Structure 1
Amino acid sequence: MVFSPQQVKFEFLSYFKEFGGNAEEWRIGCAVDAKSALTDEHKIDLDRDIWLWKPTLSPSAARIVHRYFTQQLRVPDAGAVAGGANIYLFKRCAAHTA
């Protein structure tokens, strides 16, 4: 199942509300393989850190969401991996030091 930009924005904003924190504590990115981006590139612990990814309709749709979060909400770009129709969001757990 793929998601529209509006659906992804809603889901990501729900995570912000549920898990809190300042925008600077979160990171957002686009990738062809979001799970690999999270685990291999960003070293996210899938059991301890807070993360979410969604497949979008296209790379353009993912960029719309990315642009909204980075420009409007000032969430830093995750860097490292770029492109793809999957958009991901993460926040490291306070006890996680990697």
Structure 2
Amino acid sequence: MITSQAMFWGVAVLLGVFFGPAQSASRSLMARLAPAEARNEMFGLFALSGKVTAFAGPMVLAWATAATGSQRVGMASILFFLLTGLFLLRRVPVR
């Protein structure tokens, strides 16, 4: 979809503005949802799960790029993670 360098930077800035705060927002949500007596355990599991799964995005991107020979398809594989996250977060009961 991106055909020029200016368009690339425009999309990159928008993604940085809107996806950049995701880490702090996820920690805030965790603090609101976790019961007080289990908060330390929940944050520990939250940190561990992030470290354990950090390889998944780059791995899927590399596989998609290698399988198709297209970096565009590889980058589009990120949509899988975004949509999966959206589906899972929609099921979280936020007070």
TM above 0.5? no
- What's the TM-score once normalised by structure 1's chain length? 0.27
TM-score by length of 2: 0.28
More strand by percentage: 1
- Say which structure, 1 or 2, has more relative contact order (CA 8 Å, 6+ apart): 1
